[in-house]
Structure 1
Amino acid sequence: MTAIRPPAKDPAPPLLRVRDLAMTFPGRRRSAPVRAVDGVSFDLAAGETLGLVGESGCGKSTTGRMIVRLLEPTAGTVEYDGREIGRLSQRALKPLRREIQMVFQDPHSSLNPRQSVARIIADPLLVQGSSAAGARERALELMELVGLIPEHADRRPHEFSGGQAQRIGIARALATGPRLVVADEPVSALDVSVQAQIVNLMERLQRELGLAYLFVAHDLSVVKRVCDRVAVMYLGRIVEVGAKDRVYGAPAHPYTRALLSAVPLPDPAAERTRERITLLGDPPSPAAPPPGCSFHPRCPKARSVCRTEAPVLRLLAPGEPREVACHFPEEG
């Protein structure tokens, strides 16, 4: 007798859906406009961590700021929990700001030096209409949650170390009970030992609170540890996106392979014998991107089609949930 299998359940819709997101900054005086982000698309599931990586200036931080609407996109859509939020007015967006928050790269420059720590953490709640007493009580709870001493609530940011200041920034981001946190290089300004502490904290908070992270970074070692999936950006576009183990274990795009070849290995013997990929020249200016594939001037595999046709992001192989924008990807 043949067993009857129950119908497969449809996968849950993503918490965040970004499609064709673009940002063009006007040029100064007579200079050309700068295409900082040029058609970025990705999904982020509830409780997942997606790493957005690439060289400085590739557009990853601009992408994060557009998602939280610190920057207004030039084009494209941002859907949060099934609702398009990219064109909402600030008034209509206000209730959703409870659920989408941001942690910034430089903890001290993102904190108001004139305010106490308790007030900084409570500010998002006060904006949302909480009472002063209730917001302060919540701020003290959050200080304890992120590993700070509540008795220090009335101190100013300059009285804390860099790691402690970043804990304040994380507490502020958690004040309204968000489901999505955009973390823009949250550990790059910290010492290595402090980086590990902040990463441990963010992982624990994700487990306890069910957070989804968009983790913007250039340190591939940190991304490998904290992320479920990785999206690699180059000159404003995503060139490869997929599960962390596949991207790190068998990178398909030449740029991804070059980035990973520069990551130090813990085994000295393996470090001495592995292949290093040296890219040609410097990244092109986003004010004057090259025709065709934007990576072709530096790509060791470039051919004539790469100079005339821009590759589209497509599945690498049937059944493998990894997409690559390359005319000649590695199939391994």
Structure 2
Amino acid sequence: MTATTKPAEPLLSVRDLVKTFPGRRSRTGKAGAPIRAVDGVSFDVGAGETLGLVGESGCGKSTTGRMIVRLMDPTSGTVTFDGAEIGGLSQAQLRPHRRHLQMVFQDPYSSLNPRQTVARIISEPLLVQGTGAAEARKRAAELMELVGLIPEHLDRYPHEFSGGQAQRIGIARSLATSPRLVVADEPVSALDVSIQAQVVNLMERLQDELGLAYIFIAHDLSVVKRVCDRVAVMYLGRIVEIGDKHQVYGNPAHPYTKALLSAVPLPDPAAERARERIVLLGDPPSPADPPSGCSFHPRCPKAQDICRTERPLLQIAGTGGREAACHFPEN
């Protein structure tokens, strides 16, 4: 990079994103403590890049994805897409941006309307954007072929397809408006292992051909390692580590990341037997009653007094720009 060359602006920039849900009311009608599902999340995604969001169930990764595509409204924070702040826009104001920002859901059958034909399902985003019916159907046929399905099956219904095929339909629908960013929320976790590999291969090919950026939400760290350029690890609504996948997987800086990676099976049986498995005690705390200081300290084998009183901020840990929210990160 020359002295006069400016770094490319990120396609997506998320800053201090927060989502709070009302607490459950007791039997007497008293309101419970609010649940802070996402608690100050910030990250960038560049054009053509894949960022993985990983963590245990309930850590806030899916809620984060839904706020980015505005299926949920953020409580606070900003979401800037292609230079425009979209977090506070009304649905009418959001419509010009919506076509460039799409989502693939975890369960293909739950996300596809069983009463609609595949042609209608795939072309619906185009119809909403004002495309004519004939042109939308033509585009649907092209997308069926693009994702490896037979265009002649457009008039079938979702139940006539296998799980892997149904997920391909969901991917085709997400591509209908030629988006620049796709948020994929556990897109292969509901599929058989052999089918998972096929869908991951498809998503990688589509990224190469179409120049897509992905936010890939998953709990399977093996899949994330394969498809992602960078990884953000979430715990109790916060990012505790983020960086290049080779750094995060090769030398995790945060104890939680290290524990997660120790549970990923290794292909070499000898290496699997020899390595140390880190077992976290207890369950994650409730987001309605988070611990003081570092949210991970009740389960952390390295916790000290400062961890119980002061919340660590994301800071550079080691070389390469990786960041970790830990008072005692590994380098």
Structure-2 separation of matches of 1:266 and 1:182: 29
For 2:330, what is the secondary structure of its paired residue? Answer: coil
Structure 1 residue 217 and structure 2 residue 213: aligned?
Answer: no
Number of residue pairs aligned between Structure 1 and Structure 2: 326
For 2:109, what is the secondary structure of its paired residue? Answer: coil
Give the AA of the match of 1:322: R
Give the AA of the match of 1:21: L
Question: How does the TM-score come out when normalised to structure 1?
Answer: 0.97
Aligned residue in 2 for 1:14: 10
Aligned residue in 2 for 1:148: 149
Counterparts of 1:183-222 in structure 2, within 5 Å, are 183-222=184-223
Structure 1 residue 94 and structure 2 residue 95: aligned?
Answer: yes
Structure 1 residue 255 and structure 2 residue 256: aligned?
Answer: yes
Aligned residue in 2 for 1:330: 330
Structure-2 separation of matches of 1:89 and 1:233: 28
My pick for the range that moved more, 81-90 or 238-247, is 81-90
Q: Cα offset for 1:6? A: 4.8
Structure-2 separation of matches of 1:18 and 1:85: 10
For 1:307, what is the secondary structure of its paired residue? Answer: helix
Structure-2 separation of matches of 1:70 and 1:282: 29
Cα deviation, 1:197-238, whole Å, max 9, x if unaligned, reads 000000000000000000000000000000000000000000
Structure-1 separation of matches of 2:289 and 2:232: 23
Structure 1 residue 241 and structure 2 residue 237: aligned?
Answer: no
Aligned residue in 2 for 1:292: 293
Q: Cα offset for 1:287? A: 0.7
Q: Cα offset for 1:31? A: 2.1
Identity of aligned residues (%): 79
For 1:320, what is the secondary structure of its paired residue? Answer: coil
Structure-1 separation of matches of 2:174 and 2:44: 22
Structure-2 separation of matches of 1:218 and 1:53: 5
Give the AA of the match of 2:41: V
Question: How does the TM-score come out when normalised to structure 2?
Answer: 0.97
Give the AA of the match of 1:34: I
Give the AA of the match of 1:278: V
For 1:19, what is the secondary structure of its paired residue? Answer: strand
Structure-1 separation of matches of 2:4 and 2:255: 37
Aligned residue in 2 for 1:79: 80
Structure-1 separation of matches of 2:84 and 2:316: 26
For 1:10, what is the secondary structure of its paired residue? Answer: coil
Structure-2 separation of matches of 1:311 and 1:257: 17
Give the AA of the match of 2:3: P
Q: Cα offset for 1:7? A: 2.6
Aligned residue in 2 for 1:283: 284
Structure-2 separation of matches of 1:203 and 1:93: 28
Structure-1 separation of matches of 2:324 and 2:3: 31
For 2:13, what is the secondary structure of its paired residue? Answer: strand
Structure-2 separation of matches of 1:71 and 1:98: 17
Q: Cα offset for 1:8? A: 5.2
Q: Cα offset for 1:28? A: 1.7
For 2:130, what is the secondary structure of its paired residue? Answer: coil
Moved over 4 A (4+): none
Aligned residue in 2 for 1:313: 314
Cα deviation, 1:76-113, whole Å, max 9, x if unaligned, reads 00000111000011111001111000000000000000
Give the AA of the match of 1:120: I
Structure 1 residue 304 and structure 2 residue 309: aligned?
Answer: no
Aligned residue in 2 for 1:108: 109
Give the AA of the match of 1:141: E
Alignment RMSD (CA, Å): 0.9
Structure-2 separation of matches of 1:104 and 1:9: 38
Structure 1 unpaired stretches of 5+: none
Give the AA of the match of 1:174: L
For 2:168, what is the secondary structure of its paired residue? Answer: helix
Structure-2 separation of matches of 1:45 and 1:39: 20
Give the AA of the match of 1:82: G
Aligned residue in 2 for 1:60: 61
Aligned residue in 2 for 1:25: 21
Structure-2 separation of matches of 1:297 and 1:173: 40
Q: Cα offset for 1:131? A: 0.2
Aligned residue in 2 for 1:131: 132
Aligned residue in 2 for 1:168: 169
Q: Cα offset for 1:309? A: 0.3
Structure-2 separation of matches of 1:6 and 1:27: 52
For 1:76, what is the secondary structure of its paired residue? Answer: strand
Structure-2 separation of matches of 1:308 and 1:24: 23
Q: Cα offset for 1:11? A: 1.2
Structure-2 separation of matches of 1:295 and 1:283: 8
Give the AA of the match of 1:152: H
